[in-house]
Structure 1
Amino acid sequence: MPDDETTPRLPLRERKKLKTRAAIRRAAYKLVAAQPWETTTTEQIAAEAEVSPSTVARYFPVKEDILLSDEGDDLLEARLLARPAGEDPLESLRVVVTDAVTAALAGETEEVLLRARLLVEIPSVRTRLTETTAETAQRLAGALAHRTGRDADDLEVRVLTAAVLGALREATVYWAEHGRDPDALAPLLSRTVDTLKGGLALRARP
């Protein structure tokens, strides 16, 4: 996502953390391109990334998180908070998520496609995706609550955020199972938000 007036500038410490996370992810992707994920160890990933195994564990307590985490929830939350004040929450989530996906596909296409393949092939990756999606929803619920003047534990805030993130997760799995065209993911996620905005009506095809 290009820098503009709506893209927050993170503190230096946070930017360094993101660079370390990115180095660990790149190392993992390089290894997994040549060997099975199940036999790829934290020690191997650490050696490839030129960091200690404890650093890998600190940034990614669960090994599958290396495949599933991109920018981190901090940046997604910051971008959501930076959206225009009067914007519809669903539209804000659409923009934040699709922009992040578009940027990832533009800069790390092969890594994103490899992750999608593993998402289809490895049950533990799909299971962890469900767990991390719920964690991200909790973070973004706080941002939406702030934007709307509601409490983060407000039922409507929690339901809306969980519904949107869960639907986007399912759309991502659908994309991974159906061809993994890099140009198709962002439109598919946008279509998912449109489905939610339409009230989840499901009519029979003619």
Structure 2
Amino acid sequence: MIQRKPTLRERQRSETRRMIQAHAVRLFTDRGYEAVTVTEVAEAAGVSAMTVYRHFPTKEDLVLIDQPARLIAERVAASPATHPLVRRVGGALVEAATALTGGDGDEAAVNERFLLDCLRLMVSTPALRARHLDSQYALQQAIVDALGDDATTPDAAFRARAATSACLAAMHTALTRWAEEDGQTELPELIARALAASFGDVAATGRSD
């Protein structure tokens, strides 16, 4: 199946969204989330407040990153159905982290710093913590849906949700360590280590219990 290339309009919309979010996260990091208004974000980005709201319906949305859910779900769906659930989900988490923090030279550093700033804001801001929890529930459901036939019956869906929740908990531990270390260790490595600590070889080799 040939993947459709984004249109010029879609690329421009995506670029505008990234630009607005970059300015917002910089302002929130420098001055504090509560101290910055959406109008100030719009002024910094050189757009109208209406444009900001068109891309980000709420102020909280300016800090949330929607790309990981899509990346993770795509990688789960593409993983071999013969592998254990924790390997399929865990592998997708590591691959998505690699994609999000990757790039060449300065690009990789910018990507990592942006993710670190978003993570710190979500941890330190009560309103963002609540919104982050909602996004985690949505991510869990996206992963379960991506598992396809492995989650079609009630029992299978239960196992898929349990495995996904455990993998996401391991990822959260890795993200916390990553933020505490200010990104000293590469995020994909930390996630892989957290998964190995939680599940042993099954997460990496696909061996069943």
TM-score normalised by the chain length of structure 1: 0.73
Partner of residue 31 from structure 2, selected from 22, 30, 35: 35
Query: Residue 3 of structure 1 aligns with which residue?
Result: none
Question: 1:36, 1:142 → 2: CA distance?
Answer: 36
Q: Report which of the two has the higher share of helix.
A: 2
Q: Does 1:140 align with 2:143?
A: yes
* Superposition pairs of residues 48-197 of structure 1, within 5 angstroms: 48-106=44-102, 107=108, 108-144=111-147, 146-148=148-150, 150-151=152-153, 154-176=157-179, 178-197=180-199
Q: Give the C-alpha shift of residue 142 in structure 1.
A: 0.5
Question: What is the Cα-based RMSD across aligned positions, in Å?
Answer: 3.2
Note the alpha carbon deviations across 1:101-155, whole angstroms, 9 max, x for none: 23333331221222233244323333322221111111111111x1526248822
Identity, in percent, stands at 28
C-alpha change, 1:26 and 1:39, in structure 2 (3 Å) is: same
Note the alpha carbon deviations across 1:33-81, whole angstroms, 9 max, x for none: 4322212222232343455434433543342332231515233322321
Question: 1:103, 1:23 → 2: CA distance?
Answer: 19
Question: 1:149, 1:11 → 2: CA distance?
Answer: 30
Question: Letter of the aligned partner of 1:30 in structure 2?
Answer: R
Q: Give the C-alpha shift of residue 157 in structure 1.
A: 1.8
Q: How many residue pairs end up in the alignment?
A: 191
Question: Letter of the aligned partner of 2:71 in structure 1?
Answer: L
Query: Residue 5 of structure 1 aligns with which residue?
Result: none
Q: Is residue 27–residue 36 contact of structure 2 (8 Å, CA) maintained in 1?
A: yes
Q: Is residue 25–residue 117 contact of structure 2 (8 Å, CA) maintained in 1?
A: yes
Where does structure 1 lack aligned partners over 5 or more consecutive residues? 1-7, 200-206
Question: Letter of the aligned partner of 1:81 in structure 2?
Answer: A
TM-score normalised by the chain length of structure 2: 0.72
C-alpha change, 1:16 and 1:166, in structure 2 (3 Å) is: farther
Q: Is residue 24–residue 56 contact of structure 1 (8 Å, CA) maintained in 2?
A: yes
Where does structure 2 lack aligned partners over 5 or more consecutive residues? 103-107, 202-209
Q: What SS class does the counterpart of residue 59 from structure 2 fall into?
A: coil
Moved more, 159-168 or 11-20: 11-20
Query: Residue 6 of structure 2 aligns with which residue?
Result: 12
Question: Letter of the aligned partner of 2:144 in structure 1?
Answer: A
Runs in 1 of length 4+ with deviation above 6 angstroms?
none
